[in-house]
């Protein structure tokens, strides 16, 4: 049987306890989870990608799980490029591209959508307040997109929610000191 790999790209602006939970749960399902930080062309990022990738790497190092790999070399703002780089480096063909239900309807407008759908299956993580609507399901089926809807339960926190109502309890403990020491996300104004 071919090994199944999860490819989890994220803006991680900043990484939250939600990212930590996703990584932990993916490691229970997949032979490997490969994660990286990217610049989403649809988002305005608060911190530079180098800072965000250091935070995610710190989180992943702290998890100390040999099934969770951090590789910033596969990062691209275009999913098609990250998928290509991942396949070149790891020589895996059986990739599940992890995506939140808040973004699944956007994939139809992604650069090289047809190439992406030939290269990967999607694992859709359900996020509270973002159900996968019936018209999106129909579009996925019409476009012959391979996908599974995950049963992973993730905390109702996102990087954008965290930034708008910052509370250190929503950050993985491994990155709190880095955020404080470097005054990231205007941490002097944050709630302890």
pLDDT in tens, 170-184: 999 999 999 999 989
Which DSSP symbol is given to 108? G
pLDDT over 60 at 2, yes or no: no
CATH number assigned to the domain comprising residue 64:
3.40.50.620
Full 3-state SS string of 3-50: CCEEEEEECCCCCCHHHHHHHHHHHHHCCEEEEEECCCCCCCCCCCHH
Which is it for strands 5-10 and 95-100: parallel, antiparallel or unpaired?
parallel
**Is 192 among the domain residues?**
no
Lowest mean pLDDT among 30-34, 41-45, 60-64, 101-105: 41-45
Amino acid 92: pLDDT: 85
Specify the number of domains making up the chain: 1
Amino acid 121: pLDDT: 96
> Is residue 41 a contact partner of residue 82, using CB atoms and an 8 Å limit?
no
**Is 30 among the domain residues?**
yes
- 131-174 confidence digits (pLDDT tens): 999 999 999 999 999 999 999 999 999 898 888 888 889 999 99
Q: H-helix or E-strand containing 83?
A: helix 79-90
pLDDT over 80 at 192, yes or no: no
**Is 147 among the domain residues?**
yes
Cα separation, 128 vs 13, in Å, equals: 19
**Is 161 among the domain residues?**
no
- 58-70 confidence digits (pLDDT tens): 999 999 999 999 9
**Is 138 among the domain residues?**
yes
Which DSSP symbol is given to 127? B
- 60-118 confidence digits (pLDDT tens): 999 999 999 999 999 999 999 999 999 999 988 899 999 999 999 999 999 999 999 99
Kindly indicate the confidence band of residue 1, based on its pLDDT and cuts at 50, 70 and 90.
Answer: very low
**Is 183 among the domain residues?**
no
Beta strand spans in 86-156 (E): 95-100, 120-125, 147-149
Amino acid 40: pLDDT: 86
**Is 167 among the domain residues?**
no
Kindly indicate the confidence band of residue 188, based on its pLDDT and cuts at 50, 70 and 90.
Answer: very low
**Is 106 among the domain residues?**
yes
Domain housing 87: 5-155
Cα separation, 40 vs 107, in Å, equals: 12
Q: Which of 95, 100, 82 is nearest to 136 (CA)?
A: 100
Here the tokens at position 165 are 């109502």
pLDDT over 80 at 187, yes or no: no
Identify whether 134 is preceded by a cis peptide bond (ω within 30 of 0): no
Residue 94's φ and ψ, nearest 5 degrees, are: -95, 80
């Amino acid at each position: 049987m071919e090994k199944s790999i999860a490819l989890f790209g994220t803006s991680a602006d900043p990484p939250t306890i939600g990212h930590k939970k996703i990584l932990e749960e993916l490691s229970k399902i997949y032979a490997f989870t490969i994660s990286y930080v990217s610049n989403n062309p649809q988002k305005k990022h608060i911190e530079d990608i180098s800072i965000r990738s250091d935070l995610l790497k710190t989180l992943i190092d702290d998890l100390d799980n040999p099934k969770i790999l951090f590789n910033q070399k596969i990062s691209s703002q275009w999913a098609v490029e990250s998928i290509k780089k991942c396949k070149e480096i790891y020589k895996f063909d059986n990739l599940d591209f992890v995506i939140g239900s808040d973004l699944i309807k956007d994939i139809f407008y992604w650069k090289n959508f047809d190439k992406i759908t030939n290269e990967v299956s999607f694992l859709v993580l359900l996020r509270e307040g973002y159900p996968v609507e019936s018209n999106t399901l129909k579009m996925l089926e019409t476009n012959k997109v391979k996908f599974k809807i995950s049963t992973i339960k993730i905390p109702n926190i996102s990087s954008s929610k965290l930034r708008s109502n910052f509370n250190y309890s929503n950050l993985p403990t491994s990155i709190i000191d880095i955020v404080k020491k470097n005054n990231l996300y205007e941490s002097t104004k944050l709630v302890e």
